[in-house]
C-alpha cells in the first residue's frame, strides 16, 4: 500500500503503532561518563532500569517530545543541552504490550546544569557509569550501545564535547573529558596545539588554582565552526 495511493485508504481504520521518544542522557560526573536511567515500577520488566522516554503527543514534533522528556527528567532547558536524533527502533515484538516504535535521541548535559532532583540519588532515578551498567528493559541495551558509539564518533570530529563542560573550563578539564569519553589517553602538547589551530575556544582573564601552576580559564566560542574535514577513503 503506497502513501501515494491512499486517498481512498483510511489509515485510521487500521491499527497504528504507538510512537515514543527515548532520550539517552550523558553527563560527566565523578570523572566518569555516566548515563541517566529510570527504574521501572510496572510490568513488563518490573524493577529493571530503562532509558527515560514517553509517548509523542499529537501536536508536538519529535524534537519537541524529546526536549520535553529531557526537561522532565533533568530540568535542563533547550539552550543548555546538545540533543540529536539517534535512530528509530521498530522491531514488532520489542514491547510485549503493543507495537511500539521508538525514536531514540541522545543528549549531552553539563553536570552543573542538572537540577538537584536529577543529580541526586533517588531510588528510581540513577546515573550509571557506562562501564558498569545494570541489565536494561526492552531493547534498551541495544539503544545505549548505539548511543555510546555515536557519542564517541561525534566527539572525534566535532566539538560537541564542550556541552559536557561548564561554561568556563581549563584545557586540562577539557582534555580529561575527552579522555573519559573516548577511553584513551591523549597527548597534552598535541591536544593543545590542535586546539589552537582550530579556534574553537577563547581564553578568559581568570585562572583556576590547581596543585601546581594555575590554569587559565577558557570558554567555547559560539561562532566557531567545529567540524573537521574527514579523512576520505578515496581521494
Partner DNA sequence: ACAAAAGTGTTGAGAGTACACCCATGC
Partner DNA sequence: GCATGGGTGTACTCTCAACACTTTTGT
- Residue list 122-141, contact with a copy of itself (CB under 8 A): none
- List 117, 149, 168, 188, residue binding DNA (CB under 7 A): 188
- Measured CA to CA in angstroms, residue 152 lies from 15, 160, 168 at distances of 38, 10, 23
Which one of 16-24, 29-37, 81-89, 184-192 is the stretch in contact with DNA (CB under 7 A)? 184-192
- Angstrom distance (rounded) from CA 209 to CA 188: 19
- Angstrom distance (rounded) from CA 190 to CA 201: 15
- List 13, 135, 213, 222, residue binding DNA (CB under 7 A): 213
Q: Is 116 in the site for DNA (CB under 7 A)?
A: no
Q: CA quadruple 116, 117, 123, 128: dihedral positive or negative?
A: negative
Measured from the Cβ of residue 124, the count of other Cβ atoms closer than 10 Å reads 10
Which one of 23-31, 81-89, 110-118, 181-189 is the stretch in contact with DNA (CB under 7 A)? 181-189
Binding residues for DNA restricted to 29-88, rule: CB under 7 A: none
Phi and psi at residue 126, to the nearest 5°: -150, 145
Q: Is 211 in the site for DNA (CB under 7 A)?
A: yes
Which one of 1-9, 108-116, 131-139, 206-214 is the stretch in contact with DNA (CB under 7 A)? 206-214
Which three cell numbers mark 65?
517530545
- Partners of 26 in beta bridges: 35, 108
Which one of 17-25, 128-136, 162-170, 206-214 is the stretch in contact with a copy of itself (CB under 8 A)? 17-25
Q: Is 13 in the site for a copy of itself (CB under 8 A)?
A: no
- Angstrom distance (rounded) from CA 70 to CA 66: 6
Tell me the CA end-to-end span of the chain in Å, nearest whole number: 42
- Angstrom distance (rounded) from CA 118 to CA 115: 6
Over the window 136 to 175, marking each residue x when it contacts a copy of itself by CB under 8 A and - when it does not, the resulting string is -----------------x-xxxxx----------------
Binding residues for a copy of itself restricted to 170-229, rule: CB under 8 A: 178, 186-187, 190-191, 194-195, 198, 226-229
- List 13, 30, 43, 47, residue binding a copy of itself (CB under 8 A): 43
Q: Which does 11 bind (CB under 5 to 8 A by kind): DNA, a copy of itself, none?
A: a copy of itself
- Angstrom distance (rounded) from CA 112 to CA 28: 10
The smaller minimum CB distance to DNA, of residues 11 and 204, is found at 204
Instruction: Write out the H or E segment, with its range, that includes residue 192.
Output: helix 188-198
Q: Which residues bind DNA (CB under 7 A)?
A: 170-172, 187-190, 192-194, 196, 209-216, 231-232, 235
Amino acid at each position: 500500500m503506497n502513501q501515494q495511493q491512499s486517498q481512498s485508504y483510511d489509515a485510521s481504520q487500521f491499527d497504528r503503532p504507538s510512537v515514543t521518544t527515548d532520550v539517552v542522557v550523558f553527563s560527566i560526573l565523578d570523572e566518569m561518563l555516566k548515563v541517566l536511567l529510570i527504574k521501572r515500577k510496572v510490568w513488563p520488566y518490573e524493577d529493571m532500569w530503562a532509558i527515560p522516554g514517553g509517548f509523542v503527543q499529537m501536536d508536538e514534533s519529535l524534537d519537541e517530545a524529546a526536549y520535553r522528556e529531557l526537561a522532565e527528567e533533568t530540568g535542563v532547558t533547550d539552550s543548555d543541552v546538545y540533543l540529536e536524533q539517534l535512530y528509530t527502533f521498530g522491531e514488532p515484538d520489542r514491547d510485549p504490550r503493543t507495537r511500539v516504535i521508538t525514536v531514540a535521541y541522545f543528549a549531552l548535559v553539563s553536570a552543573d546544569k542538572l537540577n538537584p532532583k536529577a543529580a541526586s540519588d533517588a531510588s528510581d532515578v540513577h546515573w550509571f557509569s557506562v562501564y558498569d551498567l545494570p541489565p536494561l528493559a526492552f531493547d534498551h541495551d541495544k539503544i545505549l550501545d548505539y548511543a555510546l558509539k555515536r557519542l564517541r564518533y561525534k566527539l572525534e570530529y566535532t566539538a560537541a564535547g564542550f556541552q559536557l563542560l561548564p561554561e568556563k573550563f581549563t584545557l586540562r578539564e577539557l582534555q580529561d573529558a575527552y579522555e573519559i569519553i573516548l577511553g584513551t589517553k591523549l597527548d597534552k602538547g598535541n591536544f593543545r596545539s590542535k586546539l589552537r589551530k582550530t579556534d574553537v575556544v577563547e581564553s578568559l582573564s581568570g585562572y583556576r588554582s590547581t596543585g601546581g601552576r594555575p590554569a587559565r580559564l577558557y570558554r567555547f566560542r559560539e561562532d566557531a565552526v567545529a567540524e573537521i574535514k574527514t579523512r576520505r577513503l578515496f581521494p
